[in-house]
Amino acid sequence: MEVRRAMRWTGMAAAMAAAGLSATIAGAQPSPGAATTKAQAAPSQPTPPQATRAAGAQATPPAGAAAKPQAGGAPAGSASTTTPGGPTPQAPLSESLTGMAKAEYGAGNALLKDGDFAGALVQFEKAYALSKDHRVLWNIALCQKNLRRYAALLDTLQRLEKDGGALLTAEDRKDIADLRTTAEGLVSRVEVVANEAGATVLIDDASMGTTPLAAPLVVELGERRIRVTKPGFKEFTRTLRVEGGGRISLAATLTREVRRGTLVVQAGAEDLISLDGRTVGRGRWEGSVPSGQHALRVSAPGKETHEAEVLVRDGEMRRVDVGLNAAASSSGRTWLWIGGGAALLAGAVITGALLFEPGTPAERGTLGTFPLSFGGR
């Protein structure tokens, strides 16, 4: 089925551009004389019914007309007749596809005929995933065009060129080039640069990748919301009005998110309150603090100092009541020292008295010819 004939902007791109692409894409109608199917180029084939082209959001695509059988029994959009030396003709998708790929493709055509482009797109994407037949990409591109998803359309055209390769005819390549030229006027390139690597970039809540981005983002014209997010950082948000065919640079600066809670300390009226080494109040203190552990110290003259680690969680109000105990008296230790000193002094006096108490006279004696004296005499 030559469904791409329903999406060609060939011959009307200049007129649409002059009138304003964004304002006229939905209602633009192509010239009837430009809708010649590939089957007409074959001398041996009769002329099939002319396909009605769908432009922009036209409600009724030509899927039904394109699927009508020709006089020879093959449906329109069957094997393309090529010039000598060109690609080998292929059987139509309705014949070449098998199994679930064929079923999904048929369901997509039914939805396309009914004007349900979003539903048809889902079915065609499934058919392509199962078959990898590049011709299904023409159907996908048609749906994207009518849904005004021009950035996705450009991506599909690129895949079509890559997957089709040598199977694409000169006419195919011209169609792709014409579609790309027109779609480029309906998008802009947005270059997003962030000060943090690994941040997720979203456009209208659709994830577009993580920083640093390999290339500028292709964004459809209109008002777009761009967000850059990363855990532990405040979200960066900007709303841009995107004009077609432009280029925009956006610098996203992410700042660390400081999570906080509230700490309340209740102590005695004259007690001094310190938090993380800094005096914050006396008696009672309440304040906002970063989430996490904090060193609390409460002190007062003549009382035992209270020191503790306090955990404050995100958004929590943590209350700590502190009652200081009176410090232990030092008088008992003083008297013990005095009493101990006196006892030591008395012992020293007694010992000295015993050492120097007079006793019996020391006996004198001799050792050889040297006289010896004992007792100090």
Is residue 70 within 8 A of residue 56, CB to CB? The reply is no
Mean pLDDT on 307-326: 93
Which DSSP helix (H) or strand (E) runs through 320?
Answer: strand 317-321
User: What are the chain's domains?
Assistant: 3-184 (1.25.40.10), 187-252 (2.60.40.1120), 260-321 (2.60.40.1120)
Mean pLDDT on 95-106: 94
Which DSSP helix (H) or strand (E) runs through 155?
Answer: helix 150-164
Identify the residue with better confidence: 36 or 352.
Answer: 352
Mean pLDDT on 334-346: 48
Write out pLDDT tens, residues 276-287: 999 999 999 999
pLDDT at 331: 53
Name the E strands within 105-180: none
The verdict on pTM exceeding 0.85 is: no
Both tokens assigned to 2: 């030559």
Identify the residue with better confidence: 144 or 348.
Answer: 144
pLDDT at 258: 81
Write out pLDDT tens, residues 37-63: 333 333 333 333 333 333 333 333 433
% pLDDT > 70, the chain: 64
Helices (H) and strands (E) in the chain, counts: 10, 16
pLDDT at 295: 96
pLDDT at 159: 96
Amino acid at 77: G
Cross-strand pairs, 203: 206, 226
Transcribe 237-300 into DSSP letters. Answer: EEEEEEPTT-EEEEEE---B---EEEEEEE--TT-EEEETTEEEEESEEEEEEESEEEEEEEE-
Residue 86 has pLDDT above 70, yes or no: no
